[in-house]
Amino acid sequence: MAVINLDMDVLRTLVAAQQLGGFNRAAERIGRSQSAVSQQIRKLEEQVGEPLFRKQGRGLAPTEAGDVVLAYARRILELNDEAIVALRGRAVEGVVRFGLPADFAETWLPTALGRFKRAHPAVRIEATVDRNRRLLDRLDRGELDLVLTLNNGGRADAERLARLPMVWIGPASADPVSMPGEPIPLAVFEAPCFFREAGLAALDRAGLPWRVAFTSASLHGLWAAVEAGLGITLRTATGLPAGVAVLDGLPAAPALDLCLHDGGRASSPAVGRLRDIVTESLAANLSSQIVIPAQAGIQSLTRGSAEKNYVAADAALAGFPPAR
C-alpha cells in the first residue's frame, strides 16, 4: 500500500477554513483564490477518501472524518512550526517576565509557554498569575515585560487581540440555586472587580433582586462555589471547569477587550517571540468560543464547535436554562 503524504499547505488551509467558518475567509487569510482553496480541499478529500466538510446553514461544519483530520492537522502544523522556530530561535536568549490572569492560567496557556520554552531553551520564563490591575501595576514598574489582560483596551500600550463576551455561569447540576421570587445568589470576586461590577449593574438595570452569597479572592474558590450551587457568577467562557455551565436568559453584559501590553517599551527578541506564540495560541483555542473579532491580532474567530465547550445542563437557576 502506497504511503500517502499529506501536504502541509493543504492542512494549513483546512485549519484556516474551520477556524474562519468557510473557504472565502480562508482564501483571504492565505492569499489564494476561493477556487484554489476549494481545489485543495477536494484533493485532500480524495487522498483520505472521505468528505471533510458538510453544509450547515450558510457556513460549513466538519464531518466526523473532518474532525479527525483537523485534530491531526493541528498537531502536524504545530510540530512543523515548532521545529522552524527552534532552528531560528537558537540564538534567542534572556529572561521573559510574563503576567496573565487566572482565567487563562489553568487551561491551554501553560501549554503555549511550554512550547515557547522548547523552541527557545536559552530563554528563562518567569510567569506570574494575578488580577489584571496588579499585573499592569507591575508592568508599569518594570517588573514584568508582557502582560495579558481583560478589560484594559483603553491603555496606550494595548494590543487588542479579541473581544470576549461575558456570560452568566451556574452549576452544571439540575438543582436550582434559588427559587422563584427569591434574590439571585451571586458568587463574586472581592471588590474592586469589573466582572462583579458588570454583573450587579446588569441585574439592577433589569430590575432583578440579588444578594452576594459567596465572595472569593481566587478563581478556583469562585468555581468551587458555583459548582456547589452557592451562587451564579459572571465571567467569560474561557477555561470553564466541567462542573459549571453557561446560563441563558439572564441580562446581557458587555464584551471585554482581550489585550497584550508591553508597557510601551521596546521588546527584546525573546519577548517578541513569546508575543507571537501567545497570539497564535489564542487564535487556535478561542476559535471554539463565541468571540467578537477585534481590529488587530486575531483577525477573525468564529463560534466553531462551541457546543463541545459549553457544558450542557438542565436548569441550574429557576427560569434561566443553560445555553444550548
Q: DSSP of 6-38, one letter per residue?
A: PPHHHHHHHHHHHHHTSHHHHHHHHT--HHHHH
> Which three cell numbers, joined as nine digits, stand for 151?
478589560
- Return all residues near 209 (Cβ < 8 A) that are at least 6 apart: 182, 183, 184, 203
216 near 187, Cβ under 8 Å? yes
pLDDT of residue 318: 38
Domain with CATH 3.40.190.10 in the chain: 91-163+256-302, 165-253
pLDDT, position 300: 27
Asked whether the beta carbons of 233 and 187 are under 8 A apart, the reply is yes
Give CA–CA dist 114/172, Å, rounded. Answer: 31
CATH of domain 91-163+256-302: 3.40.190.10
* Sign of the dihedral defined by the CA atoms of residues 268, 272, 151, 172, in that order: negative
The pLDDT, as a whole number, for residue 88 is 60
- Position 284 scores a pLDDT of 72
> How many degrees, rounded to 5, is the angle at CA 111 between CA 107 and CA 115?
160
How big is the chain by its Cα radius of gyration, in Å?
A: 22
Tell me the DSSP string of 157-205.
T-EEEEEEE-EEEEESSSS-SS-TTSPEEEEEESSS-HHHHHHHHHHHH
- pLDDT value at position 9? 84
Kindly state the cell numbers that stand for 304. Answer: 466553531
- Helix, strand and coil content of the chain, in percent to the nearest 5, comes to 40, 20, 40
Q: How far is CA 312 from CA 135, 202, 231, 307, in A?
A: 34, 24, 18, 8
Query: Interior CA angle at 268 toward 267 and 269, to 5°?
Result: 120
Whole-angstrom distance, CA of residue 246 vs CA of residue 164: 14
Residue limits of CATH 1.10.10.10 in the chain = 8-86
At the topology level, CATH places domain 165-253 in D-Maltodextrin-Binding Protein; domain 2 (3.40.190)
Pick among 1.10.10.10, 3.30.450.20, 2.120.10.10, 3.40.309.10: CATH of 8-86? 1.10.10.10
pTM for this model (two decimals): 0.62
pLDDT at 1: 58
- pLDDT for 186 equals 95
Distance CA 281, CA 239 (A): 14
Q: Which three cell numbers stand for residue 179?
A: 427559587
Per the structure block, which three cell numbers stand in for 156? 496606550
User: Given this model, what pLDDT does residue 87 score?
Assistant: 66
- Residue 54 pLDDT: 82
The pLDDT score that the predictor gives to residue 281 is: 81
Residues of the chain with pLDDT below 50 are: 290-324
